[in-house]
Structure 1
Amino acid sequence: MSSTAVSTRNVVIASCLILSAEASFAGVSALVKYLSDDQPFAQLVFFRNLMAFLVLLPWLLRKGPSALRTEKLGLHLLRGTAGVAAMYLFFFAIATIPLAQATLVLLLSPFLIPIIGRLWLKEYVARQTWLAILLGFVGVFIFLSPWQASISPIVGVAFIAAVFAAFTKTVIRKMSVTESTSKIVFYFSTYATFASAIPLFWLWQPMPYEDWLGVIAMGSLAVYGQLAMTRAFSIAPPAKVGVFTYTSVMFAALLGYLYFDEAVAWHMFWGAVIIIIAGYFAIRTRRKS
């Protein structure tokens, strides 16, 4: 089999993995929205982090404590704090506004990374990237369609979550020079699990049997999505398959329509298409640079 055929096969497999991952993440959001009617969203954040932590424990047992040695503890704590803040804000937004709206605003995160990189790390940002960022914001504006209906202030909460998420990814890029991916993920999962457990001393509520099933499903989907996404980007370059990460808003809109009676309109479709195009150009520009 030629290298071209292998490459094409990898791209197809990676694309399917990303699509399944984004469908899983949309399922997590739908379960958060459903469970938040009875459970504090802070409790859901904890179980989301706990599942990831339990999955990573075998890695620690296999590698041993020496695998955790780091000279970047401050950056790990900074990344953990920003990541947990993003998760709390996003879960709150999911519980309050339509799924597709919250998901779409969070998709601004990749467009914010170059801005943070420019302000913090003094990185060069190409003109094409600035145009892609502008196009992404135009897509969000069309999707939200403020001239047709008033926008909930909670959309601002989702945007702040996107800022925190973009900041965490910028920190990860800074750490990745010396830190392995496994170490970065483990430090975050450990920090996030223990940090999100603290509010439960005051907010814990007993859960009925069916809610436990929902929590397990939520955690399982989140872990699968993360593993599938990691595998996808390990076998195919982001420039070829990264654009599929923007399909999450389509899955979120579908689940919102089917299970929560959330409206779906043409302006949402066209806004999402513009964001996908902007994301594609942003990814291609990063590859060239």
Structure 2
Amino acid sequence: MSKQTTSEENIRCIAFMVVAMAGFAVEDAVIKKLSYTMPISQVLILIGIGGLLMFGMTALKTRVRLVTDEMVKPWFIIRTMSELASAICFVIAIVYASLSISSAILQATPLAVSLAAALFLKQHVSLGRWLLIGIGFVGVLCVIQPGLDGFKPAALSAVLGVMFLALRDSITRSISVSIHAVSVSFWAFFALFSAGIFTIPFFGKFGVITSGDIGLLAISALAGSGAYFCIVMATRGGDVAVVAPFRYTRLLFALGLAVAFFDEQINPMMIVGSSLIIGSGIIMFVSGGTVRQ
């Protein structure tokens, strides 16, 4: 592969990554907004249905198979279950803690993936990389602020969500490139829908859907569907050390939305924590400390 081709591939994957992060941030903001008028379970179900319809129709139009032999293997089922669990955890954190805190904690996912690789896959991790992982999780503590006035217990749900995402991302690396991005995205939304069904007993009766809610759901479906597709495309090419750091743009989008639409306050401790998480994560990527594709 020529240097020009590699450069073009990196730029393409970076663009997919940034668009995906913007889409996820918008989807998270819509979820928080919808939670003002309906329970979490209803929000998850409706967004899940929207994504299933979009990717289902796309699959029909492009003749992409949604079910293959690969998808009945344990690793794919575990990945889907991890997606389900992480969705529940993060929605709880977004709704009951804050969009900004949840999004900042989410940025620790790459560090958690590296930690999981060291502990469970027996990958060698140097002292320097252990230090980066430790610094990143100190950043998480700064964001959560346990014992301080700004502490919100629901933020711990985001930490649990990071663990499930680390499991999902570790498994995703084993997904055959023969499985189309549309198929992977379809089943991700199936997990979201299933998460909503599972949580019905815990979050009360469904609310009345207004015309405004329909508009928000449409925005969420478009943003979420596009984001899932783009993230799969972004992680299937390019140089991981070059492309992966751009996943941190999600925090920039999320903070902007949190301040603009939810009047959330960003305190100095949170800025310090976010900087530690992002800084250690970027150094980890650039130094090749994560499991490469």
Question: TM-score category by the smaller chain?
Answer: 0.7 to 0.9
Instruction: Measure, in 1, the Cα distance between the counterparts of 2:189 and 2:24.
Output: 17
Q: Which residue type is aligned with residue 94 of structure 2?
A: I
Aligned to 2:260: 258
Aligned to 1:220: 222
Larger fraction in helix? 1
Q: Which residue type is aligned with residue 204 of structure 1?
A: F
Q: How many corresponding residue pairs? A: 286
The answer to whether residue 105 in structure 2 is matched with residue 113 in structure 1 is: no
Aligned pairs for 1:218-257 within 5 A: 218-257=220-259
The answer to whether residue 156 in structure 2 is matched with residue 153 in structure 1 is: no
Q: Which residue type is aligned with residue 249 of structure 1?
A: L
Aligned pairs for 1:61-140 within 5 A: 61=60, 62-64=63-65, 68-70=68-70, 72-140=72-140
The answer to whether residue 66 in structure 2 is matched with residue 53 in structure 1 is: no
Q: Is the 8 A contact 1:48 1:218 kept in 2?
A: yes
Q: Is the 8 A contact 2:114 2:290 kept in 1?
A: no
Range moving further from structure 2, 100-109 or 12-21: 12-21
The answer to whether residue 41 in structure 2 is matched with residue 38 in structure 1 is: no
Q: CA deviation at 1:164?
A: 1.1
The TM-score with structure 1 as length reference comes to 0.84
The answer to whether residue 282 in structure 2 is matched with residue 283 in structure 1 is: no
Range moving further from structure 2, 238-247 or 18-27: 18-27
SS in 2 for 1:152: coil
Give the direction of change, closer, same or farther, for the CA distance of 1:143–1:200 in structure 2 (3 Å limit).
closer
Q: CA deviation at 1:27?
A: 1.2
Q: CA deviation at 1:23?
A: 1.9
Q: Is the 8 A contact 2:49 2:193 kept in 1?
A: yes
Q: CA deviation at 1:44?
A: 1.5
1:130-187 deviation per Cα after TM superposition (whole angstroms, max 9, x unaligned): 22211211222334455763411111111111111111222333x4269735455444
Aligned to 1:24: 23
Q: CA deviation at 1:4?
A: 4.0
SS in 1 for 2:289: helix
Q: Is the 8 A contact 1:129 1:281 kept in 2?
A: no
Q: CA deviation at 1:287?
A: 6.5
Give the direction of change, closer, same or farther, for the CA distance of 1:208–1:77 in structure 2 (3 Å limit).
same
1:246-270 deviation per Cα after TM superposition (whole angstroms, max 9, x unaligned): 1212221111111111112344333
Instruction: Measure, in 2, the Cα distance between the counterparts of 1:276 and 1:283.
Output: 10
Q: Is the 8 A contact 1:140 1:275 kept in 2?
A: yes
Query: Please, which runs of 5 or more residues in structure 1 have no aligned partner?
Result: none
Instruction: Measure, in 2, the Cα distance between the counterparts of 1:15 and 1:237.
Output: 10
Q: CA deviation at 1:242?
A: 1.0
Q: CA deviation at 1:84?
A: 0.7
Instruction: Measure, in 1, the Cα distance between the counterparts of 2:151 and 2:85.
Output: 23
Query: Please, which runs of 5 or more residues in structure 2 have no aligned partner?
Result: none
Q: CA deviation at 1:54?
A: 2.4
Aligned to 1:207: 209
Q: Is the 8 A contact 1:128 1:282 kept in 2?
A: no
Q: Which residue type is aligned with residue 224 of structure 1?
A: G
Instruction: Measure, in 1, the Cα distance between the counterparts of 2:188 and 2:178.
Output: 12
Q: CA RMSD in A?
A: 3.0
Q: CA deviation at 1:43?
A: 1.5
Q: Is the 8 A contact 2:71 2:77 kept in 1?
A: no
